[in-house]
Amino acid sequence: MDEIGGDQLRGHLEALILSVLETGEAHGLEVLRRLEQAGSGALQLKEGSLYPALYRLENAGLIQAVWEAETGGRRGARRRIYHLTEQGRVTLARRRQEWRHFVRTIGAILGAAACPKSA
C-alpha cells in the first residue's frame, strides 16, 4: 500500500488530530505516535507540520493546552499537553458524519466505475 503524505492529508489533519485526542490528552510527539499507530505506518507526516495544525485547532477553541509540570530530563524543554474541548468533540462528531457522507458518495461513484453494470 502506498504511503499517505502531506498533500493527501491536507484538510484532514485537523480532524485526525481531534480523533486521536478523543482517546485522551497528549503532547505533540504523542499525538504523532498515535496518528502513525492508527495509520498502520501508512501516514507519512513531517513531524513539524503537526504544530501549525495544533495551533489552528487551539485558536478555534477545539483543543486546549497546558504546559506539563516537569521537564522529565529533557534539558529544560517543556511540552504542552493538549486535550479536546466540548466544542472539539462536537466538531469531531460533525467531521465524522461529513467524512462518512463523502466516502459513501465518492465510493459509490468510484465503485460503479470499477464494476460497470452489465447491460
Partner 1 sequence: MRELERYAGQLATAARVGSRRRTAVKAELLAHLLAIYDEELARAGDPWEAVSETKRRFGDPDTLMRELRSAGSFQEWWAFFFEAWEGVMGRWLWLVGATGVLVGMGFVMPAVAYLRRLALLSSGNPGNVQLSVSLLTLGLALALGGAAALLYGAVRLLRSRRA
59 vs 118, which CB is nearer to partner 1?
A: 59
Tell me which residues in 64-83 interact with partner 1 (CB under 8 A). Answer: 74-75, 77-80
Helix 86-114, helix 13-21: angle, nearest 10: 120
55 vs 102, which CB is nearer to partner 1?
A: 55
- Binding of partner 1 by 12 (CB under 8 A): no
- Binding of partner 1 by 102 (CB under 8 A): no
Stretch near partner 1 under the rule CB under 8 A, chosen from 23-31, 87-95, 97-105, 106-114: 23-31
- Binding of partner 1 by 49 (CB under 8 A): yes
| Cα distance between residue 56 and residue 5, in whole Å | 20
Q: Which amino acid is at 14?
A: E
Alpha helices in the chain (DSSP H): 6-9, 13-21, 28-38, 50-59, 86-114
Q: Which residues bind partner 1 (CB under 8 A)?
A: 27-29, 46-49, 51-53, 55-56, 59, 74-75, 77-80
